[in-house]
Chain A
Amino acid sequence: MTDQPILEMKGVRKSFGTVVALDNVSLQLTSREIHGLLGGNGAGKTTLMNILYGLYRPEAGEIALRGEKVVIQSPKEAITHGIGMVHQHFLQVDSYSVTQNIVLGTRLRNRFRLNLDQEEQRVRELSKRFGLEVDPRSLIEELPVGIRQRVEILKALYRGVDILILDEPTTNLAPQEVDSLFRSLRVIVEEGMSVVFITHKLREVLSVCDRISVLREGRNVTTLSRDQASEEVLVKGMVGEGLDVDKSLLFSAIGLDQEALQVGQQPVLQVEGLQVVGDAGNPLIRDCSFQVREREILGIAGVAGNGQRELAESLVGVRPIAAGHVRFDGTNVAGMETRELLGMGITYIPEDRLLDGFLPAANVAQNLILGYHRQEPYSNGRFLNWNAIFREARALISEYNIITPSAGEVAANLSGGNIQRVMLARAFSQPAKLMVAHNPTRGLDIRSMEFVYSKLLERKKQGMATLFLSEDLDELLLLCDRIATMYRGQIVGILERSRFDKYEIGRMMSGVTTHE
């Protein structure tokens, strides 16, 4: 590591409407370092890097590359400056091969014959050199997320970047894949490049980064080298003084107290041989069987797209069940309509909150009663009781810390985090025996995540059951009594809390079954 900064961003400011996303933010990147950019949701990490990558234009501030001032106006310019970025959502052509995707948009040697042998050879070399194992000839659509991410990194390396930005790269990876990614990043910096690693996960920055910059609410908090950093310092930096770190569920090393660990006996939800098929008759859920008991949080782990969404939707009646039994509280509920299920005491936090749970043109109060609008006190069966609806809405707004001028505000004016709080308030305010919660903490800042966790535990202590689907293995390990892992529409294995093992679950997430 040399001290000469390869990149310097100074006094960067960016706002969206009235929201200031970045305020006087600076960042220094030296060559041959993995630089962690740490912060909660909405801290401005991705915005800062999108500016560097030419996607946003800053209102103030400057960027200096190797000591020279530059203005980057598009990703194309960023790449010519040697800056590459891997976003959370990959932009890939599914029906193209790995090599075709990588060379797309670059100069080809055989432009008219499209003979990609030489390019393919180079992809192989890069893949081998950096330990990013991938078959250059396989089609993108056949590859799991972990491999597709390698393709995305190779894409940047192929273009000869020397600054590589990774936005939350570990979100959809199994723990083994995370380790392998970190090894590759180490090789990348040893070859003389620099890496910016955006994340909200402390343990990851501590295990891989050389230096760490912490952002909070669009401002620089601190920059530390790894030997200066500790979990506690970083947490304080990310969260500010508002969170009592010692009592925090998220950061305490102790875990849950005894009361929180007890599980009831009576099954609330029994699923046997559940089958769900897609429009084309393709199986989406294959022979799933599990139970959720009283006072239990059952976690569903897995890489996104392995049937979690279909499982959740079939349980709440949104998606038809092809075969199998679903018993709720002893009653067979397979094939029942959502309306009946909600009325019986099932509540749902959908994964895609904007599409599946949100009425943008309606007001906040109307959003808070969706699905429960025929129940007391909101309605007497014939007429709505707006007074009660608004009274309840105001109570929920203050309890769940929803930031809105009034309950009558058009919901589309709310920020993403506040929309999620509306979803949470709606679901948690129901005394439902079973909650199906799919990625309930996505898009929330740390304090709100903490709040969700405490609400989940509160439900549990009241004896209620929760099916908790999440792509964040850490939060499942923290809260669940058992974790079932899904792979390609099947439950590969269910582990008891006493046998929780990150790597074991990671193996199951990538489809490696072990016999118990």
Chain B
Amino acid sequence: MNEHAVGSGYDFKSLARGLIPYVLAVVASFAAAGIFIAAMGYNVPQAYATILFTSFRTPNGFVQTWLKFVPLLLQALAFTVPLTAGKFNIGGEGQLIVGAIGAAAVGILLAGLPLPLLLPAVILAGILFGGFWAAIPAWLLYRFGINEILTTVMMNFVSFSLIDYVATEIWGDPAAGHPTTVPIGVGGELPLLVARPPLNSGILLALFAAALVYVYVNRTPGGYELVATGANPRASRVFGINVRKMFLLSLILGGALAGLSGAIEVAGVQHRLIEGLQSNFLLLGIIIGLIARGNLLAVPFVAFFIAVLEVGASALQRTMMIPVEMVSIIEALVLLFVLLSDVVRRR
């Protein structure tokens, strides 16, 4: 947590001061990446323009950016909320997958229901399944003190097998060449905000969830306890906060957010369960959470920036034949430079 994460609005100056290292980090990482791009023999300004402006030049790029933004934002929150309490949720991927499984299961089993009933059920199933998947490591931590980093990571691997099983054995679509389920009921599909190119209303759900999380952490006593627990669990315990409960709660909350992103992938984008729908959102989500330094207000902006880079990356490959990994390098460099700015400031 940094200073303006909580009770923000009281300290605009520190907000401005906090932005400087971000800007410098982005500039520095682009400069560093430019060296590589030039060394590989590509046109550097054109590459920069492609990375940064693809999202804003075509309707398709714009919609693609928002579609990427939704899971990135939710994954980043799934990582950041437990981080507020000082716990590391590295299981957002598994929670997304299991959330997606829950959403797909409800969408397929109750396929006949009309939209007002089925859609909420699908979304809720995603949230509950994601929360449940995080509740297992959370309970192991609560009950036995088992390190949550290990257990959340390991739960990811279980989920990979689970989605394979569900998408081939239970509701597998024999016509598909890849583990995929049959589609969910039409009533379970998220309505479109823009028809062409299709932008589903999952973005509203994601932003609403982000707003709820922000209000909870910054404006409620429970959120205060989360922050206090993250700042000093021992002192929090001495002053009456049940810190083990806060650990439990924060991890389950993170799982629910990841589960929501799984439900949105199913109900909004794919309309079915597809193996691999988790993409690399987990790692990007962690990077976003770390670049934002756990600041919930900064997370959406960083997530949008990363979504722009990601969309730029695919365009880079399509139009200039520069490998997408170049953009991963830029993202990693931004993170490194932001972290470096901490070290520099401390000196």
Using a CB–CB cutoff of 8 Å, the interface residues on chain A facing chain B are 313, 316-318, 337-342, 348, 350, 355-363, 365-366, 369-371, 373-374, 379, 381-384, 386, 389-390, 406-410
Contacts and interface: CB of A to CB of B under 8 A. Distances in A.
Nearest to A318: B238
Given A373-B224, A384-B219, A356 B241 contact: no
Contacts of A384: 218-221, 223-224
B238 A357 contact: yes
Contacts of A382: 220
A50 B316 CA distance: 60
Contacts of A350: 235, 238
Interface in B218-233: 218-221, 223-225, 227-228, 230-232
A366 B227 CA distance: 9
B339 to A, nearest CB: 16
B238 A316 contact: yes
Contacts of B237: 318, 338
Interface residues of B, number: 29
B11 A339 contact: no
A409 B223 CA distance: 19
A359 B238 contact: no
B240 A371 contact: yes
A356 B224 contact: no
Interface string B1-14: 11100110011001
Contacts of A370: 228, 235-236, 239
B219 A339 contact: no
A373 B14 CA distance: 24
A361 B225 CA distance: 13
Contacts, number: 100
A370 to B, nearest CB: 5
5 contacts: A350-B235, A359-B227, A359-B231, A386-B10, A390-B7
Given A363-B3, A373-B221, A355 B241 contact: no
A408 B231 contact: no
Given A338-B240, A373-B224, A408-B7, A358 B235 contact: yes
A361 B230 contact: yes
A304 B220 CA distance: 39
Contacts of B232: 355, 358-360
Contacts of A407: 10
A381 B220 CA distance: 8
Given A361-B230, A362-B227, A408-B11, A356 B6 contact: no
A390 B228 contact: no
B231 A374 contact: no
A355 B232 CA distance: 8
B3 to A, nearest CB: 5
B318 interface: no
A337 B195 CA distance: 56
Interface of chain A, main secondary structure: loop
Nearest to A390: B10
A316 B3 CA distance: 30
A386 B224 contact: no
A356 B219 CA distance: 24
A342 B14 CA distance: 34
Interface of chain B, main secondary structure: helix
Given A373-B221, A374-B221, A384-B219, A363 B6 contact: yes
Interface of B: 1-3, 6-7, 10-11, 14, 218-221, 223-225, 227-228, 230-232, 234-242
Contacts of A316: 238
Contacts of A371: 239-240
Given A355-B234, A373-B221, 13 more contacts: A337-B240, A338-B237, A339-B241, A355-B232, A357-B239, A360-B232, A366-B6, A366-B7, A370-B235, A371-B239, A371-B240, A408-B10, A408-B14
B235 A355 contact: yes
A408 B6 CA distance: 9
A247 B227 CA distance: 44
Contacts of A409: 3
A356 B239 CA distance: 8
Nearest to B9: A386
Contact of A383 (B220, B235, B241): B220
A371 B237 CA distance: 9
B146 to A, nearest CB: 19
B221 A379 contact: yes
Most chain-B Cβ atoms within 10 A of its Cβ — which of A317, A358, A362? A362
A407 B6 CA distance: 12
B219 A406 contact: no
A355 B237 CA distance: 11
Contacts of B242: 337, 339
Given A355-B234, A356-B235, A366-B7, A342 B227 contact: no
A217 B236 CA distance: 34
Contacts of A340: 240
Nearest to B231: A359
A296 B238 CA distance: 25
Contacts of A339: 240-242
The 5 closest A-B pairs by CB, nearest first: A371-B239, A339-B240, A359-B231, A338-B240, A408-B11
Contacts of B221: 373-374, 379, 381, 383-384
B332 to A, nearest CB: 25
Nearest to B1: A361
B225 A359 contact: no
Most chain-A Cβ atoms within 10 A of its Cβ — which of B6, B11, B232, B235? B235
B85 to A, nearest CB: 12
A95 to B, nearest CB: 27
A386 B215 CA distance: 12
A407 B14 CA distance: 13
A98 to B, nearest CB: 34
A365 B235 contact: no
Most chain-A Cβ atoms within 10 A of its Cβ — which of B220, B227, B230, B238? B238
A362 B11 contact: no
Contacts of A357: 235, 238-239
A355 B218 CA distance: 24
Nearest to B215: A383
B238 A363 contact: no
Contacts of B220: 382-384
Contacts of A363: 3, 6-7
Contacts of B14: 408
A16 to B, nearest CB: 14
Nearest to A358: B235
A348 B238 contact: yes
